[in-house]
């Protein structure tokens, strides 16, 4: 909140909108965004085709076979992320190991809009934090993954307009 408050106050004094440079200077908010994407990635899996024979852990994956990486399993693997079911933005203070964080896919087939999506989330969060107060009404039940992440039993939330 403090990160967003500083930007909001600077912009209010100068009567200017949020700038590109300011979105690049939101390290905590960025970590919150990427940890949210790790916890509840919109892409659960993808299909790929082996272009050559591959041996993996003693098994042969023949050329032409379809493979299906399960991103949620990768993102929630304790070998890659300690306490993977705990929301912890600090885990992104450094870069994750290669091929352990792929909320938009990876390689040449990665979503071409991934940076735009993260930018839109940053802008949305800035305006949400600066202009609204909210609270969950009722009980949070966690996330359901079938096939896309959604709050179990919905997420009734009360919003009220309130500028910083």
* Domain definitions of the chain by residue range: 1-161
- Residue 111 marked in a binding site: yes
How crowded is residue 5: how many other Cβ atoms within 10 Å of its Cβ?
12
46 vs 69: CA distance, rounded Å:
6
CATH topology of domain 1-161: Cytochrome p450 (1.10.630)
Q: How would you write the pLDDT of the chain (164 residues) with one tens digit per residue?
A: 889 999 999 998 888 999 999 999 999 999 999 999 999 988 888 888 999 999 999 999 999 999 988 889 999 999 999 999 999 999 999 999 999 999 998 888 889 999 999 999 999 999 999 999 999 888 877 888 877 888 888 888 899 998 77
Q: Is the pTM of this model over 0.95?
A: no
Residue 55, burial from CB neighbour count under 10 angstroms (0-12, 13-18, 19+): exposed
């Amino acid at each position: 909140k403090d990160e967003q408050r500083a930007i909001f106050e600077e912009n209010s004094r100068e009567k200017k909108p949020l700038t590109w440079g300011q979105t690049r200077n939101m390290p905590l908010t960025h970590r919150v965004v990427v940890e949210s994407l790790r916890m509840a990635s919109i892409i659960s899996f993808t299909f790929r085709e082996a272009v050559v024979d591959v041996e993996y852990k003693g098994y042969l994956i023949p050329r032409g076979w379809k493979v299906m990486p399960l991103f949620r399993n990768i993102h929630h693997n304790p070998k890659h992320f300690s306490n993977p079911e705990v929301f912890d933005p600090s885990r992104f203070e450094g870069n994750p190991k290669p091929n352990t964080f792929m909320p938009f896919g990876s390689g040449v087939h990665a979503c071409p809009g991934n940076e735009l999506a993260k930018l839109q989330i940053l802008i949305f969060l800035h305006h949400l934090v600066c202009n609204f107060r909210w609270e969950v009404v009722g009980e949070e039940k966690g996330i359901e993954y079938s096939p896309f992440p959604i709050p179990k039993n919905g997420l009734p939330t009360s919003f009220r307009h309130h500028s910083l």
